[in-house]
Amino acid sequence: MVRPRRAVERLKPYRPPREGREGKLRLDFNENTVGCAPQVVQALRRKLNGDWLSRYPEYEEARKKLAQYFGVSPDELLLANGTDDAIKMVCDTFVRQGDYLVVPAPTFPVYEFFHSVAGGQTKRVRYDENFNLTADMLLGGVSKRTRWMAIANPNNPTGTIVSQPDLRRILKEAPDVLVLVDEAYVDFSGQTVLPWIRKYRNLVVTRTFSKAFGLAGLRLGCILTNVDIADPMRRAQNPFAVNSLALAGALEAIKHEKFVARYAREVCANRDRLCRYFKSAGIPCVPSYSNFVLARVGARASEIALKLRDQDILVRDWSYDPRLKGYLRFTVGSTAQTRRLIQGLSQFRHLMESRNGGSPRARTVKENSQRQEP
Ligand SMILES: Cc1ncc(COP(=O)(O)O)c(C=O)c1O
């Protein structure tokens, strides 16, 4: 028998996400819930003519245009097959057997996944009970063996951010640690550290077309970093990881920034609406800078998620995570979709553990998280 590497043998079996989501209200993956700009679909249709599909993709022109869009030079940008691939590229280029990754807990699991595949170990830094996470806490997780740190900003599933002064401190005080700031949800938070890539030599920023742009199915992400980090990553990269449709879609999408900005504004207004609903129902929720809200509905969280599913409303059950017992995560979409979610939730209010009357925890989750304002 041909045995895989030890690091691969140690991996837990992959649990694929649920399929069969078509036609349902998809509030479970933090995607754009209304679709991309219609011009993107038209541009893709036009492209499908001729011999276009039989040719390998060409990247240079696209890289220039995307670099211009992000305000960096083409040398500072790498194309990736989604952020997931960008994370893998970091691991392929930098992670050695036994290296450590520092991540908040809970966070997007793909950092730890690819790091483990590369044979690395992970130091998880827990949020405090009010979902605060500071530079001191993250720097406290760094040791001599730390190779990189991944910070989703805003973080998934909490929706919280690490403040810019805290990020600055981390970049300065851990100069030998590669710090990946994953800005998948930047359109909803409005906060970026992208202009810092020349100043901090250890900073890597990632962006994706999967969220506000509505192109998750095409798979395109970008890595933005200084040339000293970009060059080795380019050398180690899969030469044709990004397909032609993804490039064509993204190049059209960036021409319709207003469409994306309008969608993000609508989502942010609905996020506030959903939080107001939770507050009125006495359900603690974490103030979010993203297009989703994490709420503590109580011990019957999984049952509530299944009942919503019966109504074709898909939400993400995080209650399996020991730190998030009783929590569901709700992606926020259009106004009509948010109304439908609130109507659905209202039917199961009797299943939720309401804190009406004001438990100290229900209040402090909100008050303390608000202090994270940068
Ligand atoms: C923080 C974060 N980064 C990245 C991604 C995935 O991005 P992509 O579709 O570009 O791989 C997600 C998806 O949920 C996410 O939550």
Q: Print pLDDT tens along the chain (374 aa).
A: 999 999 999 998 877 677 889 999 999 999 999 999 999 999 999 999 778 899 999 999 999 999 999 999 999 999 999 999 999 999 999 999 999 999 999 999 999 999 999 999 999 999 999 999 999 999 999 999 999 999 999 999 999 999 999 999 999 999 999 999 999 999 999 999 999 999 999 999 999 999 999 999 999 999 999 999 999 999 999 999 999 999 999 999 999 999 999 999 999 999 999 999 999 999 999 999 999 999 999 999 999 999 999 999 999 999 999 889 999 999 999 999 999 999 999 999 999 998 874 443 443 344 434 433 33
Distances in whole angstroms, Cα of residue 185 to Cα of each of 33, 48, 166: 14, 30, 19
CA 220 to ligand 1: nearest atom: 10
pLDDT at 369: 40
How wide is the angle at C-alpha 197 spanned by C-alphas 245 and 104, nearest 5°?
85
User: How many angstroms does the Cα of residue 350 sit away from the middle of ligand 1?
Assistant: 33
How wide is the angle at C-alpha 209 spanned by C-alphas 59 and 36, nearest 5°?
115
Mutational test site, ligand 1, from 26, 66, 208, max ligand atoms within 8 Å of CB: 208
Query: Is the CB of residue 43 less than 8 Å from the CB of residue 248?
Result: yes
Classify strands 292-296 and 313-317 as parallel, antiparallel or unpaired.
unpaired
Name residue, tokens 């605060």.
132
Distance CA 150, CA 302 (A): 29
Query: Is the CB of residue 240 less than 8 Å from the CB of residue 87?
Result: no
User: How many angstroms does the Cα of residue 158 sit away from the middle of ligand 1?
Assistant: 14
Per-residue pLDDT reduced to its tens digit, 238-271: 999 999 999 999 999 999 999 999 999 999 999 9
First to last CA, the chain: 55
Q: What is the pTM of this model?
A: 0.94
Mutational test site, ligand 1, from 32, 85, 110, max ligand atoms within 8 Å of CB: 110
For 50, list phi and psi in degrees, rounded to 5.
75, -155
Name residue, tokens 């506000």.
212
Distances in whole angstroms, Cα of residue 314 to Cα of each of 29, 60, 210, 281, 311: 9, 39, 18, 20, 9
pLDDT at 370: 41
Q: Determine if ligand 1 sits within 6 Å of the CB of residue 156.
A: yes
According to DSSP, residue 265 is labeled H
Alpha helices in the chain (DSSP H): 6-9, 38-47, 60-70, 82-94, 110-117, 135-140, 164-173, 186-189, 227-236, 244-253, 257-281, 301-310, 335-347, 360-370
According to DSSP, residue 285 is labeled B
User: Which residues are CB-neighbours of 205 under 8 A, at least 6 positions away?
Assistant: 180, 181, 183, 192, 193, 194, 197, 223, 224, 225
